Amino acid sequence: MWITLATGEYYPDILVSACELYKPVLVMFSEILKRSEDSTALFKEICGIGDNWMRVQLARVFRKYVSPDTPVELLKKKKSAQKICDDFQYRFRKINEVQRAFDSRPLPDEALCAVLWEYKERGKKGYDLTEKFFSLMRRKFPQYDIKGPERAGKDILLGDIFHAYPNPLRPVDFLICDATSVNVLAVGFARYDSDRGGSQEDDRTGGYKNCADEILSYCKRRGMRTKIIFLNDGPGLLLGSMWRDYAEIEKRGKGRILVTTLRMLDERLTEDWLER
């Protein structure tokens, strides 16, 4: 009743679109692979690709075929190419083995295209959640200024918002400010959990607890009435003790923390609470 279920895509319905989108990536990888004398040269040429989207996709293919130990986020950083080679090249699969493995698969490779498609969809449900949140908030509270990336975009860093904040790189997803856009009534975090439990569940709620303590402690020292909103949604909330843990976080705030789903916002988030 209280969670939002984002629409997903069925397998194998996605294969036609996935193969169409990623075939050029695999063709380019094949071309670079054929002219590379070793796996390090392959990686460095991939890092030299000017088109950011293509470079990231090629790096993901490289990781699957050559270096599954390499962190995905590190691969995305063009400037980290030499460091990756220094730290991981001893684990790179040999180029002749890569060529043999690549040639053993059809082009386009449906299995790999499906894997790459999963990367494409990652984060989309979270972006949909924040977009709906911004739209709802502007209808409900036209008198307030809602700030932050509505879909993909750079997080707001509290060091840029609050003077001498002790953890200046603390990211938040949105701010609710008064009509002057100066006074921050609430800072917020938004997450969509398709599936979460076990240690991931503990990490999320534990991280939220530490984050809330940090923000409220700063606000108390400064005499600020800024509050915290944790907008969480998705079927992951139905697993284990997650919702009970969120309820405990809300109690911990003594009226200054609100944990809510999108469907609860209209009932639970009020002007009185924000201004109190």
Residue 1 lies in a domain: no
What is the structure's pLDDT at 147? 93
Identify whether 99 is part of a domain: yes
Nearest 5°: the CA angle 67, 68, 73 is 95
On whether residue 9 sits in a domain, the answer given is: no
Kindly state whether residue 208 falls inside one of the protein's structural domains: yes
**Are residues 128 and 115 part of one domain?**
no
Question: What angle, 0 to 180 degrees and rounded to 10, lies between the N-to-C axes of helices 110-121 and 52-65?
Answer: 130
**Residue 229 placed within a domain:** yes
Could you tell me if 115 and 177 lie in one domain? no
Q: What is the pTM of this model?
A: 0.77
Same-domain pairing of 248 and 145: yes
Is the distance from CB of 240 to CB of 270 less than 8 angstroms? no
Residue where a domain stops, chosen among 68, 90, 121: 121
Q: Are residues 201 and 266 in the same domain?
A: yes
Domain boundary among 79, 103, 121: 121
Do 22 and 131 share a domain, yes or no?
A: no
Q: What is residue 81's predicted lDDT score, i.e. its pLDDT?
A: 83
**Separation CA 189–CA 173 (nearest Å):** 5
Give the pLDDT of residue 200.
55
Number of domains in the chain: 2
Cβ atoms of 117 and 14 closer than 8 Å: yes
Q: In the 8-state DSSP scheme, what is residue 80? A: G
d(CA 219, CA 225): 7
Structural domain includes residue 72: yes
Are residues 105 and 33 part of one domain? yes
Asked if residue 92 is part of any domain, the answer here is: yes
- The ranges of the chain with pLDDT < 50 are 198-199
- Whether 48 and 60 share a structural domain: yes
- Same domain? 137 vs 266: yes
**Which two tokens mark 221?**
């020292």
197 and 247 both lie in a single domain: yes
CATH number of domain containing 181: 3.40.1350
Q: How many helices and strands in the chain, by DSSP H and E?
A: 13, 7
Are residues 99 and 213 both part of a single domain?
A: no
Two structure tokens written together for 212:
């809330």
Please tell me whether residues 182 and 271 are part of one structural domain: yes
Strand runs labelled E in the chain: 145-147, 156-157, 171-172, 174-177, 184-192, 227-233, 257-260
Is the domain of 154 the same as that of 261? yes
Query: Does residue 8 fall inside a structural domain?
Result: no
Is the CA virtual torsion 122, 156, 147, 263 positive or negative?
A: positive
DSSP 94: P
Among residues 67, 87, 121, which one ends one of the domains?
A: 121
Range of the structural domain that residue 34 is part of: 15-121
